[in-house]
Amino acid sequence: MGGIRSKFGNVADKAKELGESVAEVAAEAGGTVAGKVAAAGGTVAERAREGARLAADAQLEARRRKYAPVFPDEFWSPDYDLPNMVIIEDEDKRKGIDVCEGAIGWLTKASSGMEIFHLYHSFVEESGLSLHPLAQMGAVYVRDPSGSDRFFDLESLYREIQKEKMSELQHVAYCLGAKYCKLEMRETQMSDSKQGKRIRTAVKRVGAASESDSVSIDCSEQVSEDRQMLFERRFSGSDEVRRPPLNWYRNDKEINDLIEMRCSNDSANAIHDYVVNIDCRSSAALAQARASEIDSALKGLKVSIGASLQEECYRESQQTMVFTVLF
């Protein structure tokens, strides 16, 4: 009997050991599964947070593109490409917009691709931009067509440039030692008593129904010339001459010829008087294509500056200045 109990005792002990081993294995396996589940849950949560962060970044970037703010560090960067058109704006227009906090203005782009810089009025002085004649709220400025870094108010662009041209020609006469100089403006004016008259005419096309077309007819055209004295100056005169600096007329052949003849020091054949007709197209404030581009940009922005630049450009093309100099 003792032997039998011994055998059964061994069997029981083995079973107990086996049960404990099985329990340990099961517990270990359960822990592993739980760990994997927890890890998976952590990964899902992390991915969800990452997805939310990316979505927030995308929304922020979309708002930045929409409002296109310009910040001081960007503006002062050596490689910043300042647009050729600047509009002075009230900073309150962007007040409360998070992506515009700390900005000095914003950018827009016309349908033609032309960029416009909307500069806050409060930053005008700090910007260092040279705005002529004055920096005014709501005014539109365009970069000096002659190539300098100045910006002209579009409403007074042609008027201010004409002043500069007049001053430059006076200075030419003065530097060349002239006794007298005069500048006249001659403007060709075309009028048409029936301009804009339109008639309706029926046009029958083969294979098509009768329809009405608009036809423009120009007739009774009249051409006149308006003359205006721009300035007249008298000096004491001098044979000590110096070459004047040129800006608007640096490529004008007639003005350059005058300077060369006066500075040649050829006393045997000195020039005594000079009259030149200056075609204003040779020193145009704006090219027709440029004027059209700016007009289009202003129309898109719903900004009005009175007469269109194309109209001003056409009028300038009809003008001739007569410059008379006596030595």
- Please identify, among 37, 63, 89, the residue that sits at the C-terminal boundary of a domain: 63
Q: Quick one: 74 and 128 in the same domain?
A: yes
The Cα 260–Cα 269 span in angstroms is 13
Task: Looking at the structure, tell me whether residues 56 and 113 fall in a common domain.
Answer: no
Could you read off the pLDDT of 212-238 as tens digits, one per residue? 333 444 444 566 678 889 999 999 999
Q: Assess whether 111 and 49 both reside in one domain.
A: no
| 125 and 15 housed in the same domain | no
Question: What's the rounded Cα separation, in Å, for the pair 204 and 143?
Answer: 52
Mean per-residue pLDDT of the chain: 79
Chosen domain end from 63, 97, 115 = 63
pLDDT score of 256 more than 90: yes
The reply to whether 289 and 267 lie within a common domain is yes
Beta strand 319-326 pairing with 180-192: antiparallel
- Residue 122: band (very low, low, confident or very high) from pLDDT cuts 50, 70, 90: very high
Residues 235 and 322 in one domain: yes
| Contact (CB, 8 A) for 82 and 150 | no
Q: Are residues 183 and 287 in the same domain?
A: yes
Structure token pair of residue 19: 């049960």
CB atoms within 10 A of CB 206: 4
Look at residue 193 and tell me whether its pLDDT is greater than 60.
Answer: no
- My answer on whether 141 and 185 are in the same domain is no
The domain total for the chain is: 3
106 and 187 in a single domain? The answer is no
Q: Is there a domain that residue 107 lies in? A: yes
Residues 37 and 151 in one domain: no
Parent domain of 57: 1-63
Same domain, residue pair 123 and 239: no
Percentage of the chain lying above the pLDDT 70 cut: 75
Q: Indicate whether 88 and 39 sit together in one domain.
A: no
Rounded Cα gap, residues 228 and 242, in angstroms: 30
State the average pLDDT over residues 308-316.
Answer: 89
Query: At which of 13, 46, 63 does a domain end?
Result: 63
Q: Is residue 204 part of a domain?
A: no
Q: How far apart are CA 259 and CA 193, in angstroms?
A: 45
Token pair of 148, please?
Answer: 């300098």
Residue 29 resides in a domain: yes
pLDDT at residue 165 above 60?
yes
